[in-house]
Every structure is written in C-alpha cells, then in structure tokens.
C-alpha cells in the first residue's frame, strides 16, 4: 500500500561518526532502507488546533482552525477530512464534527448552548480517519474547560483532605455552597451524596446538611486506585421541589505521591557512570518539588538530589558490584518515602547524549568490563531519526570501553530526535530521545500603529511572515482577546510549536509544554533535556522495522472527501453487478450517478453536504428495479479514548474563573432578553414507553430521560447516543453500559424506536428533530425484555406524535415509507461553518457604551500573507473592556515551516 506523499530526507547517504569505522555493512543499509520504506509507505499525520481562547462559558462559541500536517509538518496531501469530537467526564460524545481539509487546513466553530453544556471539564480531540490506525494518544487532545453561569442555581468550591490506613484511603470532602447572585452561603440545606467509580460502581454514599456557614462534609474510604478515577456526586435540596446535582472528581482527593526514576539509555550498569532522571508527581499527575539522597546498602550517601523544574531533576550514579541503592525522598509537605532504584545489570553497554552545545550533539558509548570482554570486536550501529525519517546512521567496532563523538545539529530538523544503539543483528540495546532546537521557526511579526487605544476604536494589525529574511506566503489564524477578562498561563498553553514539535511525538502528559519554547530562564534548555530523559519515543520500533512488521491499517485515508457506500441487491438478497444508481441531495440541487461493481458495491465520492442534509439514492431505473433494494454501509467512528490531559482539569471552575464567568453571564443576558408568552392551550400529553404494549412491565419512571431540547446540536443519533445516555459506550456496533462492559458483561442494551426493536445502525435513519424523548432503563422490571433479547438494559426512543385529524397525502406517505429501491438517509456531513461576527463602530451610538462585553475581540482563520512581500493586515474594533488586549498569530507555509507570535496593546 503506497499513499501519495512527499518526503524530504536530509539523508542522501549514510553518515558516520568520526570515531567510527568507515566501512559500510549490509545490515546498517538494510535497517536504514527499511525504515525509509516504512515511513514512505505508512506516513504519520498530525493535527493541531488553534483556538480563539483557552476556556469557555456556556453560551459562548468555540472558534478554531485545524492544521493537518504530514512528514516534516508540510500540509497533508493524504486526508481531506478532519474530525473533531467532544466527550464529557463520563466519556460520552457530546459533539461530533466533520470538516473539509483544503491545503492542510480546516476551520470551524462549536456553539455551546447552556442547555447542552453543563459546567465541567470536557475532552476534545482532533484527528483524521487515517490517524485512527495509530494510538489515540497521538490525536490532538485538549482539556476543554466550560463554565456555566447561565443555568446555575448554586456556586460550589470543594477541598479535600486524606489519610491512609489499612490499605484504604480516607477522604474528607468539604464543599462550600453559595447562591450565585449575592454569593451568600446556603444554610441548612439537605444533601445526599454518592461516590461513583470509573466503571459506575458505587463506592460509598450518605446524607447530611450544610452547616451555618454553608459548608458540607462527606467522609468516606476506599481503595486508592478506585478513588483516583471516582467522582463525588452531591445532590442539594433547595426547597420548592428543586434539587441541584454537582459532580466533583476525586483525582486530587487522595494524598498519594509518587516518584519514578529513568536511567539514561534505559538501564543502570555496574561500573558505568550514568545520569538518572526522575519525576515526582502528586495524585493529580502534576509535578511536585522533592529533595533527598541516594544511599547504598551500607547506608553510605552516594548522591544527592533536588528537583529543578516541575518535580523533575537528574543525578549521576556509578553502581558498584554487589550493591543496591535506595532513594530517600522528602516532599515539600515534609512527608518522606524510600524507593528502590531500578535493577542494576551486571554486564552492559550504555548510550549517553549531551545536548548543551548549541552547534553539536555529543554522543558517548560506555561498556563495562564484562560486556567488553564478551563483545569486543563486534559491530554496533547508531541511528538517529525524527518523525520516522533517518537523518544519521553510523557504525563502530567495539574495541574500547568508551567512545565519544560529535554530530553537527545542522543535520537534524527541529523537534524530537530518537537515537538508538543496535547490535549488528538489529537488536536495540539503548534508546535516548532529545530535543533539537534550531530556532528556525517562521519569523512572524504583528504590530499596530499605536500601543494604546480607546474603547471601540478601530485597530489595524500589520503582519509580516518571513523564512529567515525571505518573505513567504502562508496560512495563518489570528485571535485577539481581552486578556484582562481572559488571563492566560502562557507556560501551560498548547501552541502550534509545542504541539507539533514536542507533545505530538511523545506519549503521556507533558506539564506546561509552552515553557520550553518561551521561557527566558537560563535553565530552560537543561530542563527540556531532563524532560526528554523522562520520556520515550514509541512511534517507531526497530524490532518491527527489521521484522517487516508494518502497522495494521484498518481505516483508509479519506482522499475523496465525503463518501456514501453501500450495496444494491434484489429481493432475494443477491448482489446486482453493474447496477445503475442515481444520488440526489435536494437541498444543494446536486445529482450524481454511478454503477455497482461485480459484487454489487457502489460508491459516491467527493460529495459536499452539511449535517442533516437529506440524501436520496434511487435504483428504480434498473431492470426489475421495483424488486431491488438499496442499502448504505454504516459509518465507523473513533471510540472514546483516555484523556491523557486529565491533570489539566480544574475542579473549582466557579472560583478559578469567576471574573470571566461573571462577564459571560452579563453578556448572555444582554443577548437573550425574555419575551412575554401567552399560553393559549393546555399541556399536551407527551409520548412515553407506556404508549407501547411491547414495553409493558417496564418501571413507570426511567433511570434517565433525555428531552428533545437536550438533543439540540446532535445531527446523527448514531453518533451522539452515547453522549446523551450517561455511562454508556459504543463497541462492536452495539450500545453498552460502561460498567457492565468493563466487567466483561458483553450483553448490549436493547434499543426500541416507538416500541419497535432495532439495532444501533438503524439510528442513522432517525431524524433527530422528530424525537420527543429518550428513556433509559437499567432494570427490565416485569417486562422480561432483557430475558427475551439477551440484553442488559433498555433504551426507548419516543418519536413525536402526528397532530390528530391532519390528513396525510399519498406523497407524504411515500416520503415516510419509501420503496426499497429508494434509500433516504441523513448521513453525517460537514459541519456548518459560520463567520465570526465583529461589530463596527464607524459611528458611535449614544447610550450604548459599556454594553460590548466580548472577550474574543477578533478571530480570523483565513489570514494569508503575500508571497512577494510576506505581508498582510487585519482590522477590527475594540470592545468596551479596559486593560490589555492580546493578539496571537499562528500558522505555517507550504513547506511546513511553523510560526507563532504574540502582540499586546492597551485599551484605555
């Protein structure tokens, strides 16, 4: 399988270390050639998303631009669609978007209606279909923080204290409850609470009341592992039959702290002096300061340590024969722990890399005496690669216990470099990743004529883009925000540089990634190298390369845009070869034709339609067309994945983002004025499961009910259903309760539509705007449905009633029940892309000052620089907010050169 792509290799021949033998071998050439062939045939794509601001409020709109790259960050030529989805804390899909990729970029927006987005931390992902063949940790991931001041009856602030005893963790949670208008404490309110584990299991529960200061305490115990992924769910009774539910993640509740040790090259070896990196973290996964000593088994101190940055540091150690070593650690809170260092090898060789010279990368091989005696005269290889492309390959004969050499950094691109030491049989012995910083990003600049402006004054930002000194044409996005209302932690930002060059190539959580790109700290370079010592590059395994083990590609890249595929059959089920089909999209006045292949498969490619558009496929004109049936293949979607940015979650959104949320509420109220409504009729009885005899015996009250209003924003029920039904997941084209699925109970949920049993694929044909409600039952009651269908749980989808007395025409009946040779579907199309609205104040209107509360002042995903001059500009008007405004530009040119620039000005 060969995908169309272009690969820029700096490697036109095999480079050799100066101290290494100058004789090539077939083994080294084979490894390099196989690596080159692998990355050429199975390239890596990356997605980065630039957002208008770092966090949001219900009622806001998320504005973003996706940059989809391949190889050395050039605009992709592989995929033409990028996907964006949002999951809640229960890993249920809330939003799902498809966007067309043109020249490697796509832009979009996501409205956040208060009815749909409760306050909390959400998991946003960006990826292509082809990227689903690889670990979802390599998707673009963002912890999306959304406050909700609109639909709010209480304010909360939670704190935890914990202690350990008898293998259990005791947690005392204290929650402060306040009413939102005057921030007055809610006194003597009844509360019921439950601690629910990651698999929906109940760990503890209880009842209580707020005290005279509005505080409530929940005291419970559980296994540390269970509590780490659990939530405290508290329901407060406000009176007048009104209750409010709040959910508090317990990941920060446990007092657990941990430290891990990472010997350079992978292992400690007797008699070989090595650097050992370490990282100390708290229960939330964030770095914490430590200090301590390393002692041997006689109690002698052989090294001291003190963390340098975010709980990370490094010390040197030369293990001695017959000795073991321990780390005696003292944490910042005064607590102490003792840890064993990693196992020590009696015989071995080590790879060290020194990256403190701006021009050269220094490499050192160190073998102890037993290893040297056994392997003297043998051949060894060193290979250095970035993004799968080999930029350096060398070999040496092992004759001495130590080799040192230097490589010019000019040979390597900026980014994560993996260096591997291999035997002549291709067995990897040591690995080290390091970061090459060439300071070769695009030279972007952005400036205004003045440094200070008035409110509502017009601002022009002049922009230039250069590659070193030469002007370049590039694709960029520009965001301007009121930084006084939307403060940023710049070190913690995810940027086009930190994401594309650093975090997208590494697994696991990287804390404050932008620090390594913007810090003026003299130690930043050293801290970045320590970070690299604690990481591993796992995109490429030489064991797999040499064994010709290629990635398993089950999802092909989407090179033809939106497609609809399916099968044409006759009424006996036999596939029809060379059958004629016609496709129509009425809303776009679009028509297309195709013929089936020899086994009846059809494919319509390069389609362009938006979500909820009706698509009609007709096979009537074939011979015996009335006896034919047209079916469509269901779409496959990416499963939920673990949020590796959970450490970025904010438990107390109300207090952390109070100024922003107060402003958001004022802005929302200004834009949504209530109108008087005259009620002219009594309530209409809504459809429920009790209307269908097949569902007789189910409990009268469902465990969960999803209203029609809550379904707004869902364009395809098949995609969205797990996002609306709490604690569910879709796997193997079936719907499961996650608790049961995790416990290996693979009985799915039985789905009904107006009392008719259906499989989950049927939901592709259900019009979401025709749904009255969805009822969820975890218990079959007396119905016997689970026993009959071999399922575990029931979901009933109630469709809206037709108005009685309304006659239906034959055409309307045919529309509802088309013949089998006509297929009517509403597949997932491209998300509707709106333009960002920025008001103009050419002529100020009296009496309106103070009403422009915007936090995003300007957003444009379509900023392009001129090839000749590298210049362009953007214009907009300030809002009514005083303080510092921050403008950010990010983007790339056609060659994959990346750039970012931040500019600030003042509004008086």
Q: Is 548 among the domain residues?
A: no
Q: How many CB atoms lie within 10 A of CB 632?
A: 19
Residues 626 and 699 in one domain: no
Mean pLDDT for 161-179 is 89
pLDDT tens profile 778-823: 889 889 999 999 999 999 999 988 665 566 677 666 666 788 999 9
Buried b (16+ CB within 10 A) or exposed e, 302-326: bbebebebbbbbbbebebeeeeebb
Query: Does residue 256 have a pLDDT over 80?
Result: no
CB 732 within 8 A of CB 639: no
Residues 628 and 692 in one domain: no
pLDDT tens profile 529-562: 999 999 876 677 888 888 888 889 999 999 999 9
Structure-block tokens of residue 26 = 């077939």
Residues 704 and 789 in one domain: yes
| Res 4: pLDDT | 36
| Res 579: pLDDT | 97
Query: Does residue 757 have a pLDDT over 80?
Result: yes
Residues 692 and 796 in one domain: yes
**What pLDDT band is residue 879 in, cutting at 50, 70 and 90?**
very high
| Res 437: pLDDT | 94
pLDDT tens profile 628-654: 999 998 887 887 888 889 889 998 999
- Of 293, 324, 345, which residue sits at a domain end? 345
Q: Is 126 among the domain residues?
A: no
- Of 308, 330, 345, which residue sits at a domain end? 345
Q: Of 159-163, 566-570, 670-674, which has the strongest mean pLDDT? A: 566-570
Q: How many residues does the chain have?
A: 908
Percent of the chain whose pLDDT exceeds 70: 92
Residues 610 and 708 in one domain: no
**What pLDDT band is residue 712 in, cutting at 50, 70 and 90?**
low
Q: Is 625 among the domain residues?
A: yes
Structure-block tokens of residue 28 = 């080294």
Query: Does residue 3 have a pLDDT over 60?
Result: no
Query: Does residue 839 have a pLDDT over 70?
Result: yes
SS3 485: coil
**What pLDDT band is residue 24 in, cutting at 50, 70 and 90?**
very low
**What pLDDT band is residue 7 in, cutting at 50, 70 and 90?**
very low
What distance in Å separates the CA atoms of residue 14 and residue 393, rounded to the nearest whole number?
Answer: 6
| Res 16: pLDDT | 45
Among the ranges given (247-251, 515-519, 681-685, 833-837), the one the predictor scored with the smallest mean pLDDT? 681-685
Query: Does residue 17 have a pLDDT over 50?
Result: no
pLDDT tens profile 32-42: 999 999 989 99
Q: pTM for the complete prediction? A: 0.87
Q: Would you list the DSSP string of 621-634?
A: TSTTGGGEEEEEPP
| Res 413: pLDDT | 95
pLDDT tens profile 276-322: 999 999 988 899 999 999 999 999 999 999 999 999 999 999 999 99
Q: Would you list the DSSP string of 140-197?
A: EEEEEEEE-SSS-S-EEEEEEEEEEETTEEEEEEEEEEE-TTT--B--S-EEEEEEE-
Q: Is 576 among the domain residues?
A: yes
What is the distance of C-alpha 223 from the center of its chain? 29
Q: Of 181-185, 583-587, 612-616, which has the strongest mean pLDDT? A: 583-587
Total number of domains constituting the chain: 3
Query: Does residue 488 have a pLDDT over 60?
Result: yes
| Res 765: pLDDT | 80
Q: Which domain holds residue 598?
A: 562-632
Residues 698 and 783 in one domain: yes
pLDDT tens profile 310-324: 999 999 999 999 999
What is the domain-level CATH number for residue 322? 2.60.40.1930
**What pLDDT band is residue 20 in, cutting at 50, 70 and 90?**
very low
Residues 698 and 784 in one domain: yes
Query: Does residue 450 have a pLDDT over 50?
Result: yes
CB 389 within 8 A of CB 71: yes
Query: Does residue 458 have a pLDDT over 60?
Result: yes
- Of 779, 800, 821, which residue sits at a domain end? 800
Q: Is 741 among the domain residues?
A: yes
Residues 693 and 772 in one domain: yes
Among the ranges given (21-30, 146-155, 588-597, 834-843), the one the predictor scored with the smallest mean pLDDT? 21-30
Query: Does residue 363 have a pLDDT over 60?
Result: yes
| Res 806: pLDDT | 61
Q: Is 885 among the domain residues?
A: no
CB 891 within 8 A of CB 901: no
**What pLDDT band is residue 385 in, cutting at 50, 70 and 90?**
very high
Residues 619 and 708 in one domain: no
| Res 92: pLDDT | 73
Residues 602 and 700 in one domain: no
* CB burial of residue 576 (10 Å; 0-12, 13-18, 19+): buried
Mean pLDDT for 150-171 is 87
What distance in Å separates the CA atoms of residue 230 and residue 196, rounded to the nearest whole number?
Answer: 5
Q: Is 31 among the domain residues?
A: no
Among the ranges given (454-468, 732-746, 804-818), the one the predictor scored with the smallest mean pLDDT? 804-818
| Res 848: pLDDT | 63
Query: Does residue 13 have a pLDDT over 50?
Result: no
Q: Is 452 among the domain residues?
A: no
Indicate the average pLDDT of the chain: 89
What is the domain-level CATH number for residue 767? 2.170.130.10
Query: Does residue 200 have a pLDDT over 90?
Result: no
What distance in Å separates the CA atoms of residue 526 and residue 356, rounded to the nearest whole number?
Answer: 7
Residues 700 and 597 in one domain: no
More confident residue, 358 or 720: 358
| Res 472: pLDDT | 97
Residues 793 and 714 in one domain: yes
């Amino acid at each position: 399988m060969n995908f169309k792509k272009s690969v820029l290799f700096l490697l036109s021949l095999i480079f050799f270390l100066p101290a290494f033998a100058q004789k090539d071998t077939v083994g080294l050439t084979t490894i390099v050639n196989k690596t080159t062939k692998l990355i050429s045939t199975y390239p890596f794509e990356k997605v980065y998303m630039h957002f208008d601001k770092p966090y949001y409020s219900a009622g806001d709109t998320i504005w973003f631009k996706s940059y989809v790259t391949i190889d050395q960050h050039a605009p992709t030529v592989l995929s033409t669609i990028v996907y964006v989805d949002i999951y809640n804390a229960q890993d249920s899909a809330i939003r799902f978007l498809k966007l067309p990729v043109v020249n490697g970029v796509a832009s979009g927006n996501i409205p956040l209606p208060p009815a749909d987005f409760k306050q909390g931390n959400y998991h946003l992902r960006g990826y292509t279909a082809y990227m689903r063949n690889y670990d979802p940790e390599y998707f673009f991931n963002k912890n999306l923080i959304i406050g909700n001041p609109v639909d709010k009856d209480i304010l909360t602030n939670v704190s935890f204290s914990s202690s350990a005893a008898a293998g259990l963790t005791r947690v005392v949670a204290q929650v402060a409850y306040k009413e939102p208008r005057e921030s007055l404490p809610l006194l003597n309110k009844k509360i019921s609470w439950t601690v629910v584990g990651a698999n929906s299991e109940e760990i503890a529960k209880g009842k209580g009341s707020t005290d005279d200061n509005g505080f409530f305490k929940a005291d419970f115990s559980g296994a540390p592992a269970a509590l780490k992924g659990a939530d405290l769910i508290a329901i407060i009774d406000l009176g007048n039959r009104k209750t409010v539910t709040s959910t508090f993640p317990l990941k920060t509740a446990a007092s657990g702290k941990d430290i891990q040790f990472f010997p350079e090259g992978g292992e400690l070896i007797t008699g070989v002096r090595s650097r050992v990196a370490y990282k100390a973290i708290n229960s939330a996964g964030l770095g914490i300061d430590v200090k301590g000593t390393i002692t041997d088994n006689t109690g002698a101190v052989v090294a001291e340590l003190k963390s340098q940055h975010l709980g990370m540091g490094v010390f040197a150690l030369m293990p001695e024969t017959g000795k073991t070593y321990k780390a005696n650690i003292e944490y910042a809170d005064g607590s102490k722990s003792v840890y064993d260092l990693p196992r020590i090898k009696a015989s071995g060789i080590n790879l060290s890399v020194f990256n403190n010279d701006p021009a050269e990368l220094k490499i050192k091989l160190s073998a102890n005496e037993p290893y040297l005696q056994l392997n003297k005269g043998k051949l060894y290889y060193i290979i250095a690669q970035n993004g799968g492309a080999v930029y350096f390959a060398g070999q040496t004969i092992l004759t001495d216990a130590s080799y040192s050499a230097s490589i010019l950094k000019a040979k390597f691109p900026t980014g994560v470099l993996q260096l591997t030491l291999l035997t002549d049989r291709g067995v990897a012995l040591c690995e080290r990743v390091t970061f090459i910083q060439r300071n070769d990003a695009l030279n972007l600049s952005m400036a205004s004529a003045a440094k200070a402006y008035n409110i509502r004054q017009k601002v022009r930002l002049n922009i230039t883009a250069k590659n070193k000194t030469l002007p370049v044409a590039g694709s960029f996005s520009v965001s301007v925000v009121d930084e006084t209302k939307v403060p940023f932690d710049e070190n913690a930002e995810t940027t086009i540089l930190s994401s594309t060059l650093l975090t997208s190539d590494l697994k696991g959580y990287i804390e404050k990634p932008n620090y390594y790109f913007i810090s003026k700290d003299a130690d930043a370079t050293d801290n970045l190298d320590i970070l690299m010592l604690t990481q591993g590059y796992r995109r490429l395994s030489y064991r797999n390369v040499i064994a010709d083990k290629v990635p398993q590609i089950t999802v092909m890249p989407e090179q033809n845009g939106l497609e609809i595929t399916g099968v044409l059959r006759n009424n006996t089920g036999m596939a029809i070869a060379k059958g004629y089909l016609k496709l129509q999209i009425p809303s776009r006045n679009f028509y297309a034709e195709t013929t089936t292949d020899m086994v009846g498969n059809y494919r319509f490619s390069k389609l362009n339609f938006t979500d909820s558009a009706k698509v009609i496929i007709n096979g009537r004109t074939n011979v015996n067309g009335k006896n034919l049936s047209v079916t469509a293949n269901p779409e496959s979607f990416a499963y939920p994945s673990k949020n590796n940015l959970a450490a970025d979650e904010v438990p107390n959104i109300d207090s952390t983002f109070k100024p922003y949320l107060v402003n958001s509420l004022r802005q929302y109220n200004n834009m949504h004025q209530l109108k008087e409504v005259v009620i002219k009729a009594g309530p209409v009885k809504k459809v429920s499961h009790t209307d269908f005899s097949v569902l007789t015996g189910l409990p009268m009250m469902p465990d969960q009910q999803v209203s029609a209003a809550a379904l707004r924003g869902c364009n395809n029920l098949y995609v969205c259903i797990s996002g609306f039904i709490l604690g569910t997941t879709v796997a193997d084209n079936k719907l499961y309760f996650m608790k049961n699925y995790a416990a290996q109970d693979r009985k799915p949920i039985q789905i009904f539509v107006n009392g008719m049993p259906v499989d989950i694929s049927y939901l592709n044909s259900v019009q979401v705007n025709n749904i009255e409600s969805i009822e969820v039952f975890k218990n079959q009651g007396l119905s016997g449905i689970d026993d009959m269908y071999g399922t575990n749980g029931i979901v009933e989808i109630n469709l809206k009633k037709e108005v009685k007395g309304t006659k239906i025409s034959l055409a309307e009946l045919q529309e509802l029940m088309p013949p089998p040779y006509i297929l009517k579907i509403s597949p997932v199309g491209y998300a509707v892309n709106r333009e960002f609205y920025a008001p103009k104040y050419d002529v100020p209107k009296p009496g309106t000052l103070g009403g422009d509360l915007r936090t995003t002042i300007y957003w444009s995903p379509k900023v392009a620089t001129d090839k000749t001059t590298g210049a362009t500009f953007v214009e907009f008007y300030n809002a009514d907010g005083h303080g510092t405004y921050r403008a950010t530009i990010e983007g790339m040119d056609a060659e994959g050169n990346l750039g970012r620039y931040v500019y600030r000005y003042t509004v008086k």
